[in-house]
Amino acid sequence: MRRVAIIVIAMMLASLAVAAPLARAATLDPAGADSVVLHARHEGLDDFCAKPSRPLSTHARSLCPMAAGIPQCDAFVAACNDKPFDPDKLPRWNLGLGAALASLAGGVVWLLVAAVIGLIVVFVVSAIGRARKDSRLASSPEPKATVVPDPMAEALLAPSDAEALLARASEHALRGELDRAALLYLAAALRALDRRGAIRIARHRTNGEYVRACKDGEAAPQLRAIVRAVDRVQFGHEAPTREAIADVAARAAWIVRAAVVASLLLLLVGCTPKSHGPILQSDDPGGDDLFMAVLERQGADVARLGGSLASLPMPEHDEKGPLVVVDAARTLLEEETRMHLVRWVKAGGRLLIAGDVKSWPEDFGAKPHESSSSKLTFRFPDPENENENERVVDPADATFKATVAEPHGLDWNDELGASYVLAKNDEEVPYAAARAFERGVVVGLAGDDLLTNAGISVPPNAAAIVALIERYAHGRAIRVARPEDGISPPSSPLAALLGAGLGLPLAHAAFATALLMLAVGVRQARARREPPPQRRAWTEHVAATGSLYARAHLAPHALSAYARFVDGRLRARMPRTMTDPAVYLALRSRADAARCAEVWALATAARSADRPRGDELATLRELRTLYAAAMKTG
Amino acid sequence: MTPEEFTATFDRIRNEVSRAVVGQREVTEGLLVAMIARGHVLIEGAPGLGKTLMARALAAVSGCAFKRIQFTPDLMPSDITGSSVFERERGTFTFIPGPIFAQLVLADEINRAPAKTQSALLEAMQDRQVTVDGVSRAVPHPFVVIATQNPVESQGTYPLPEAQLDRFLMKLTAADPPAAEEQRIVRNHADGFDPSDLSPLRPVTSPAEIAAMQVYAQQVRIDDAVIAYIVDLTRRTREDRMIELGASPRASIALLKAAQVIAASEGRTFVTPDDVKPMVKPVFRHRVMLQPDAQLQGITPDERIDELIKSAPVPRAA
What's the pLDDT at A319? 72
Interface of A with B in 340-399 (CB under 8 A): none
Question: Quick check: helix, strand or coil at residue A540?
Answer: helix
Is the pLDDT reported for residue A634 higher than 50? no
DSSP structure class, residue A363: G
Tell me whether B299 touches chain A (CB under 8 Å): no
What's the pLDDT at A367? 86
Q: What is the total residue count of chain A?
A: 634
Cβ neighbours for B159, distance < 8 A, ≥ 6 positions apart:
B111, B152
CB-side neighbour CA atoms (13 Å) of A103: 5
Cβ(B233)–Cβ(B309) below 8 Å: yes
What domains can be seen in chain B, in order of their start residue?
1-189 (3.40.50.300), 220-313 (1.10.8.80)
What's the whole-number average pLDDT of chain A?
A: 79
Is the pLDDT reported for residue A159 higher than 60? no
Lowest mean pLDDT among A268-277, A319-328, A348-357, B205-214: A268-277
Residues from chain A that touch B293, judged by Cβ atoms under 8 A, are 137, 534-535
Is the pLDDT reported for residue A584 higher than 70? yes
Query: Among partner residues A141, A204, A576, which is closest to B314 by beta-carbon distance?
Result: A204
Q: Does domain A151-271 correspond to CATH entry 1.10.10? A: no
pLDDT band at A16, cuts 50/70/90? very low
Cβ(A430)–Cβ(A357) below 8 Å: no
What's the pLDDT at B272? 92
Interface contact flag, A535 B311, Cβ < 8 Å: no
Is the pLDDT reported for residue A311 higher than 80? yes
Interface contact flag, B274 A209, Cβ < 8 Å: yes
Query: Among partner residues A141, A143, A233, which is closest to B236 by beta-carbon distance?
Result: A143
What distances in angstroms separate CA A318 from CA A321, A346, A349, one per listed residue?
9, 14, 11
Interval A120-139 mean pLDDT: 70
Tell me whether B179 touches chain A (CB under 8 Å): no
Tell me whether B318 touches chain A (CB under 8 Å): yes
Is the pLDDT reported for residue A55 higher than 60? yes
Residue of A474 and A73 predicted with greater confidence: A73
DSSP structure class, residue A143: P
Residues from chain B that touch A183, judged by Cβ atoms under 8 A, are 316-317
What's the pLDDT at A158? 55
What's the pLDDT at B153? 55
Tell me whether B225 touches chain A (CB under 8 Å): yes
What's the pLDDT at A150? 52
Is the pLDDT reported for residue B101 higher than 70? yes
Name the percent of chain A lying above pLDDT 70.
Answer: 79
Interface contact flag, B272 A206, Cβ < 8 Å: yes
What's the pLDDT at A41? 86
Tell me whether A628 touches chain B (CB under 8 Å): no
Residues from chain B that touch A153, judged by Cβ atoms under 8 A, are 313, 315-317
Interface contact flag, A236 B270, Cβ < 8 Å: yes
Interface of B with A in 70-129 (CB under 8 A): 115
What's the pLDDT at A163? 80
Q: Can you tell me the distance from the alpha carbon of A378 to that of A179, in angstroms, rounded to the nearest whole number?
A: 81
What's the pLDDT at A366? 87
Interface contact flag, A535 B221, Cβ < 8 Å: no
Tell me whether A144 touches chain B (CB under 8 Å): yes
What's the pLDDT at A22? 39
What's the pLDDT at A133? 65
Residues from chain A that touch B161, judged by Cβ atoms under 8 A, are 576
Query: Among partner residues B223, B308, B314, which is closest to A203 by beta-carbon distance?
Result: B314
Q: Can you tell me the distance from the alpha carbon of B66 to that of B100, in angstroms, rounded to the nearest whole number?
A: 10
pLDDT band at A11, cuts 50/70/90? very low
Phi-psi region of B5 (alpha: psi -120 to 50; beta: other; left: phi over 0): alpha
Interval A320-333 mean pLDDT: 87
Q: Which of A365, A349, A356, A331 has the alpha carbon at shortest distance from A488? A: A331
Cβ neighbours for A278, distance < 8 A, ≥ 6 positions apart:
none
Interface contact flag, A235 B311, Cβ < 8 Å: no
Burial class (CB in 10 A: 0-12, 13-18, 19+), B147: buried
pLDDT in tens, B151-200: 755 567 788 888 888 889 999 988 888 888 888 888 888 888 887 888 88
> What is the per-residue DSSP string for A173-213?
HHHT-HHHHHHHHHHHHHHHHHHHTS----TT--HHHHHHH
Query: Among partner residues B232, B271, B316, which is closest to A152 by beta-carbon distance?
Result: B316
Is the pLDDT reported for residue A119 higher than 70? yes
Name the percent of chain B lying above pLDDT 90.
Answer: 34
> What is the per-residue DSSP string for A259-291?
HHHHHHHHHHHHHSPPP---------TT-SHHH
What's the pLDDT at B254? 93
pLDDT in tens, B237-289: 998 888 888 898 999 999 999 999 999 999 999 999 999 999 999 999 999 98
What's the pLDDT at A531? 59
Tell me whether A206 touches chain B (CB under 8 Å): yes
Tell me whether A239 touches chain B (CB under 8 Å): no
What distances in angstroms separate CA A571 from CA A579, A603, A621, B288, one per listed residue?
8, 16, 20, 21
Interface contact flag, B229 A150, Cβ < 8 Å: no
Q: Which of A190, A189, A179 has the alpha carbon at shortest distance from A231? A: A179
Expressed in percent and rounded to 5, the helix, strand and coil fractions of chain A are 60, 10, 35
What's the pLDDT at A151? 47
Interface contact flag, A145 B312, Cβ < 8 Å: yes
Query: Among partner residues A146, A232, A537, which is closest to B228 by beta-carbon distance?
Result: A146
For residue B149, list its beta bridge partners.
B44
Q: Can you tell me the distance from the alpha carbon of B100 to that of B78, in angstroms, rounded to the nearest whole number?
A: 10
Cβ(A308)–Cβ(A489) below 8 Å: yes
pLDDT band at B35, cuts 50/70/90? very high
Q: What is the pTM of this model?
A: 0.49
What's the pLDDT at A588? 87
Is the pLDDT reported for residue A356 higher than 90? no
Q: Can you tell me the distance from the alpha carbon of B260 to that of B22, in angstroms, rounded to the nearest whole number?
A: 26
Residues from chain B that touch A139, judged by Cβ atoms under 8 A, are none
Neighbours of A494 (CB within 10 A): 12
- Secondary structure in 3-state letters for B137-199: EECCCCCEEEEEECCCCCCCCCCCCHHHHHHCCEEEECCCCCHHHHHHHHHHHHCCCCCCCCC
pLDDT band at A534, cuts 50/70/90? low
Interval B289-296 mean pLDDT: 81
pLDDT band at A556, cuts 50/70/90? confident
Interface contact flag, A146 B311, Cβ < 8 Å: no
pLDDT band at A43, cuts 50/70/90? confident
pLDDT band at A21, cuts 50/70/90? very low
CA distance B118 to chain A (A): 13
Q: Which residue of A has its CA nearest to B115?
A: A576
Q: Can you tell me the distance from the alpha carbon of B228 to that of A148, in angstroms, rounded to the nearest whole number?
A: 9
Tell me whether A213 touches chain B (CB under 8 Å): no
- Secondary structure in 3-state letters for A47-106: HHHHCCCCCCCHHHHCCHHHHHHCCCCHHHHHHHCCCCCCHHHCCHHHHHHHHHHHHHHH
Is the pLDDT reported for residue A572 higher than 60? yes
pLDDT in tens, A209-239: 888 888 888 888 888 889 888 888 888 888 8
What's the pLDDT at A149? 46
What's the pLDDT at B255? 94
Cβ neighbours for A464, distance < 8 A, ≥ 6 positions apart:
A30, A376, A378, A400, A401, A402, A423, A450
H helix or E strand, kind and range, residue A433: strand A430-437
Is the pLDDT reported for residue A526 higher than 70? no
Interval A140-145 mean pLDDT: 47
Residue spans per domain, chain A: 151-271, 536-633
- Secondary structure in 3-state letters for B75-106: CCHHHHHEEEEEECCCCEEEEEECCCCCCEEE
The C-alpha torsion from A415 through A421 and A424 to A430, rounded to 10°, is -20
Cβ neighbours for A622, distance < 8 A, ≥ 6 positions apart:
A599
Cβ neighbours for B282, distance < 8 A, ≥ 6 positions apart:
B30, B170, B171, B172, B258
Is the pLDDT reported for residue B99 higher than 80? yes
Interface of B with A in 11-70 (CB under 8 A): none
Interface contact flag, A236 B228, Cβ < 8 Å: no
pLDDT band at A13, cuts 50/70/90? very low
Q: Which alpha helices (DSSP H) does A370-502 contain, by range?
A: 453-457, 461-473, 493-499
Cβ(B258)–Cβ(B170) below 8 Å: yes
Question: Quick check: helix, strand or coil at residue A442?
Answer: strand
What's the pLDDT at A155? 56
Is the pLDDT reported for residue A202 higher than 50? yes
